[in-house]
Chain A
Amino acid sequence: MKIIKRNGSEAVFDITKIIVAITKANNSVEEADRLTPAQIHEAAANVEEKCEQMNRAMSVEEIQDLVEDQIMAFGAYALARKYITYRYIRAMVRQSNTTDEQILALIECNNEEVKQENSNKNPTVNSVQRDYMAGEVSKDITKRVLLPKEIVDAHEAGIIHFHDADYFAQHMHNCDLVNLEDMLQNGTVISGTMIDKPHSFSTACNIATQIIAQVASSQYGGQSISLTHLAPFVQVSRERIRREVQAEAESFGGFASPDSIERVVEDRLRAEIRRGVQTIQYQVVTLMTTNGQAPFITVFMYLGEARNEQEKRDLALIIEEVLLQRINGVKNEAGVWITPAFPKLIYVLEEQNIHEDSPYYYLTRLSAKCTAKRMVPDYISEKKMLEYKIDKNGDGHCYTCMGCRSFLTPYVDPETGKPKYYGRFNQGVVTINLPDVALSSGGDFDKFWKILDERLELCYEALMCRHNRLKGTLSDAAPILWQYGALARLEKGETIDKLLYGGYSTISLGYAGLYECVKAMTGKSHTDASATPFALEVMQRLNDACAKWKKKENIDFSLYGTPLESTTYKFAKCLQKRFGIIPGITDKSYITNSYHIHVTEDIDAFTKLSFESQFQRLSPGGAISYVEVPDMQHNLEAVLEVMKFIYDHIMYAELNTKRDYCQCCGYNGEILIVTDEDGKLVWECPNCRNRDQSKMNVARRTCGYIGTQYWNQGRTQEIQDRVLHL
């Protein structure tokens, strides 16, 4: 007979442990109140018999309940009291030390869960371990003190996922669009030091990097900046350089034609742009924030944002330089150029760059080359976005997501009457596990909708916990964000509350596993024409819930296709525990992200993008579609064809290419996933069979960002299962 220990592992039932426990308690009471050894053996035997009758593995707590019953059945009340008190004290000790084991395990690098938690963090280095220790404490406090029990239970059962509990103890928000323009033009304060408006492009880049680092340390999610906000400083530099060159020319005493002066000026300007862009690239990948990782930063490249033709030309110069430097890559420790994970780049496809005769088509070609080699940029279609993101004045807007995929809602600033995007943010995410709803309903549609509504109510309560955690936060918690312009310019000591309402910020209902949900209910993939309407109906219901909450709370709830980076494994394990192995639904160690088509489904890139587009429209809080492609560096025309298709059909999409590097043999291509002797999935160089992860550079897109630090077993299996769409 087996029992379940407190840590979840199985052990063989051992009657002597019960005898020892009762005997210990027995010896500590007055002699008159004691049981005889024979009575103790009888009590223990009775417990064993009752356990056997249960026909399942009993937990330690259940067995202790039986022991108490037995002691009381013998009338030994003093002994029972002792036993119960001892049990209670032990439970208290365990409660107050819930984090010890996890923390010690992560410091000794044995904590498998933490090891594979985040593909952008390296858990063996001290600074990351400090962040993880803080995370364990935060998770513990969140679980025991900050959240209601029903939400903790639902989170642990995998019915919902309460994201970022490792930061929830603090008053932190998720992600945002940094108002770099305000900070650069009007000055800011970094760590108590006044920073004025910069006098050159390269200084502006330097300040931007400092801002990025500070912002990243003040929140847990991603941030985005726009190159447009740096563009005015190109002209500032140009004028300064021109003055210098003219002065130099005069000092030489010879005649210099205006043309030749301009040539020198533009050459020097290019060199300055190169330096500035390089500063951002290198600082961002080498910085380690207080969150133990490089800042999750997205750089937005959108010509349509420029306010005049001069600024647009200057912006184009910056974009070109960013792309050229990304094509080069950054050097790994062996000195080989590889794909960096950050900054993530987003390039907007628009009329002025998408057609072969468009003025900025050369940038789009360069962008295609960059994507083929470095997986980024990702693409936003201005055309589709203007159709989808319409504000209350009826105007469409095109803007970047916050970090990897979270999109703000369209918003008009009530004070200025103008649209506002930079400076806004997301309060946080709670995700609903859709396959669990389907399997809990047993395939009954009436039950499905009823359970969905109940689970959504739970999500609402959990999201309000997030919101309430931010409510009352003082601007002093993160001066760079709330006082010095990144998100607002509030007074010292002022709360951020006014920014939480009326649509200034958003809060996200995440969803995962639409594919498995539809499959469990209809027996078909959601790409099957007979199942698609149900899939769309589920999406609509989730949107309706957000609309209802928004009305009630005056907060912009928005539906969000959760990245689910490591949570995919947790959800899959929880589903298996709750429902067993169901072929095609719970038989993998991952579940499908958001509305995505299952990674193993045979479908071409174009069909996939146009099918998923209808779901992206219903995922206004954020989502990204991808196509999995082979090495396409020989066929940029095909890359461009996919980009043109994105422009016409889908708002936000990316191409997943594969270019890894083996440091043992120098192989440059796709490194494969194989199963080792213990059934574990490991990475292996197909050329020299190297399996040492520390001697290879693997970059895969798993959540909208590129990860370079490997993934948990569930996500690794998902990566292995991916089929090509071209």
Chain B
Amino acid sequence: MNYSVIKAVDIADGPGVRVSLFVSGCTHHCKGCFQPETWSFSYGQPFTRETEEQLLSLLRPPHIRGLTLLGGEPFEPNNQRALLPFLKRLRAELPDKDIWCYSGYTLDGELLAPSRARCEVTDEMLSLIDVLVDGEFVEDKRNISLKFRGSENQRLIDLRATRREGQIVLYQ
């Protein structure tokens, strides 16, 4: 997997102050995408062991609330396979940090149902994420005053509560 950029302090993509990782490769090609250069799977630089170390050290300070995954599309199967070991490591080494993930795939429509996104590691990857922002960016539904999302169709899903209650619970 490649990634395009790491933001060391990000306050726009989830609550508190976060570290964000923009992975490369996306097959949605939404109209009005704010960074179409990240559609290519070979854009940016390879995600390596050193990248993991860098992320962990950026995440360590107490004022950093957690990690946000963006893209590109973190839920493209190849990206899931590359991210899963890192997320496990993050959970083990820094259990207090939360994990947010943005995906153009919807939870119930695509990630939990047969689709081009769903693969052998999808369930485990979802089990490591606290909040999923799901749905494609739809230009007609763009609204810049929304909290942590770009268009009205996108949802902030509290995955922990969703797992607990067996139905989709939105993040408050």
Q: Closest B-chain residue to A639, C-beta based? A: B11
Interface residues in B126-158 (C-beta closer than 8 Å to A):
147-148
Between-chain CB contacts (< 8 Å), 17 pairs? A604-B9, A629-B11, A630-B12, A632-B11, A635-B11, A635-B15, A635-B147, A637-B65, A638-B11, A638-B15, A638-B17, A641-B16, A641-B63, A641-B65, A642-B17, A642-B63, A726-B17
CA distance A630 to B8 in the complex (A): 16
Instruction: Give me 11 other A-B pairs in contact (C-beta within 8 A), A606-B63, A635-B12, A642-B17 excluded.
Output: A630-B11, A632-B11, A635-B16, A637-B15, A638-B16, A638-B17, A640-B16, A641-B63, A641-B65, A645-B63, A726-B9
- Give the CA-CA distance A389 to B8 in the complex, in Å: 34
Interface centre among A641, A644, A726 (most CB of B within 10 A): A641
Question: Is the Cβ of A726 less than 8 Å from the Cβ of B8?
Answer: no
Residues of B near A632 (CB, < 8 A) are: 11
A629 and B15 alpha carbons, distance in the complex (Å): 15
Whole-angstrom distance between the alpha carbons of A644 and B16 in the complex? 12
Q: How far is the CA of A196 from the CA of B167 in the complex (A)?
A: 66
User: B8-27: which have CB < 8 Å to A?
Assistant: 8-9, 11-12, 15-17
Min Cβ gap A581→B in Å is: 34
Q: Is B61 an interface residue (CB 8 A)?
A: yes
A640 to B16, CA, bound (A): 8
| A:161-211 near B, CB below 8 Å | none
Asked if A605 is at the interface (CB within 8 A of a chain B CB), the reply is yes
- Expressed in whole angstroms, the minimum distance between the Cβ of B12 and any Cβ of chain A is 8
A634 within 8 Å of B by Cβ? Answer: yes
Interface centre among B9, B17, B65 (most CB of A within 10 A): B17
Residues on B facing A (Cβ under 8 Å): 8-9, 11-12, 15-17, 61, 63, 65, 147-148
| Chain A residues with CB below 8 A from B63, complex form | 606, 641-642, 644-645
Q: List A contacts of B16 (CB < 8 A).
A: 635, 637-638, 640-641
Which of B12, B61, B65, B148 contacts A606 (CB under 8 A)? B61
Closest residue to B11 on the A side, CB-wise? A638
> Measured between C-beta atoms, what is the minimum distance from B133 to chain A in Å?
13
Q: A699-726 toward B: CB 8 Å interface, digit per residue (1/0)?
A: 0000000000000000000000000001
Quick one: closest B residue to A645, CB to CB? B63
Residues of B within 8 A of A638 (CB): 11, 15-17
Top-5 shortest CB links A-B: A637-B16, A637-B15, A638-B11, A634-B147, A604-B9
- Of residues 608 to 651 in A, which have CB atoms within 8 Å of B's CB atoms? 629-630, 632, 634-635, 637-638, 640-642, 644-645
B99 to chain A, nearest CB (A): 15
B11 adjacent to A604 (CB under 8 Å): no
Q: How far is the CB of A414 from chain B (nearest CB, A)?
A: 43
Q: When chains A and B are docked, how far (Å) is the Cα of A642 from the Cα of B12?
A: 15
Residues of A near B61 (CB, < 8 A) are 606
Q: How far is the CA of A629 from the CA of B9 in the complex (A)?
A: 12
Tally chain A residues at the interface, Cβ within 8 Å.
Answer: 16
Report the bound CA distance from A637 to B17 in whole Å. Answer: 8
The complex places the Cα of A641 from the Cα of B63 at a distance, in Å, of: 6
A606-B11 in contact (CB<8A) = no
Hey, which chain A residues are within 8 Å of B9, CB to CB?
A: 604-606, 726
Q: Which single residue of chain A is at the shortest CB-CB distance from B7?
A: A604
A634 to B61, CA, bound (A): 22
Complex Cα gap A606–B65 (Å): 14
Could you tell me the distance between the alpha carbons of A630 and B9 in the complex, rounded to whole angstroms? Answer: 13
Most chain B CB inside 10 Å of its own CB: which residue of A629, A635, A726: A635
Chain B residue numbers with a CB within 8 Å of A605 are 9
In the bound complex, how far is the Cα of B9 from the Cα of A604, in angstroms?
7
Name the B residues within 8 Å of A644 (CB-CB). 63
Residues of chain A within 8 A (CB-CB) of B15 are: 635, 637-638
Report if A641-B147 is in contact (Cβ < 8 Å); known contacts: A606-B63, A635-B11, A726-B9: no
CA distance A634 to B147 in the complex (A): 6
Residues of B within 8 A of A634 (CB): 147-148
Closest Cβ–Cβ distance, residue B76 to chain A (whole Å): 28
Give the nearest-CB partner of B61 in chain A: A606
Complex CA gap A676/B17 in Å reads: 37
Q: What's the Cα separation between A634 and B12 when bound, in Å? A: 8
Closest residue to A638 on the B side, CB-wise? Answer: B11
Residues of A within 8 A of B17 (CB): 606, 638, 641-642, 726
In the docked arrangement, what's the CA distance between A632 and B17, Å? Answer: 11
Residues on the B chain within 8 Å of A641, using CB? 16-17, 63, 65
Task: Please measure, in the bound complex, the distance between the C-alpha atom of A607 and the C-alpha atom of B65, giving whole angstroms.
Answer: 16
Q: Which residues of B contact A629 (CB under 8 A)?
A: 11
Minimum Cβ distance to chain B for residue A642 (Å): 8
Q: What is the minimal beta-carbon distance from B22 to any residue of chain A, in angstroms?
A: 17
| Complexed CA–CA distance, A642 and B8 (Å) | 15
- B11 cross-chain contacts in A, Cβ below 8 A: 629-630, 632, 635, 638, 726
Binary B-proximity of A583-613 (CB < 8 A = 1, otherwise 0) = 0000000000000000000001110000000
A645-688 contacts to B, CB under 8 A, are: 645
Q: Which residues of B contact A642 (CB under 8 A)?
A: 17, 63
A478 to B12, CA, bound (A): 52
Q: A residues within 8 A CB of B147?
A: 634-635
Give A634's nearest chain B residue, CB to CB: B147
Smallest CB gap from B15: residue in A: A637
Complex: how many Å from CA A176 to CA B42? 63
Considering the chains assembled together, what is the distance between the CA atoms of A658 and B17 in angstroms?
19
Q: What CA separation (Å) do A41 and B155 show in the bound complex?
A: 90
> Within the assembled complex, what's the spacing in Å between the Cα atoms of A561 and B11?
30
Smallest beta-carbon distance B144→chain A, Å: 10
Would you give the shortest CB distance from A318 to chain B, in whole angstroms? 30
The answer for the CA separation of A640 and B17 in the assembled complex, in Å, is 10
Provide the residues of chain A in CB contact with B65, threshold 8 Å. Answer: 637, 641
Nearest A residue (CB) for B145: A634
Evaluate contact between A604 and B8: CB separation under 8 angstroms. yes
Q: How far is the CA of A660 from the CA of B160 in the complex (A)?
A: 39
Bound state CA distance, A569 and B61, in angstroms? 39
CA distance A50 to B11 in the complex (A): 67
**Within 8 Å CB of A630, what residues of B?**
11-12
Residues of A within 8 A of B12 (CB): 630, 635
User: From residue A606, how far is it (CB to closest CB) to chain B in Å?
Assistant: 6
Task: Tell me which of A604, A638, A644 has the highest count of chain B C-beta atoms within 10 A of its own C-beta.
Answer: A638
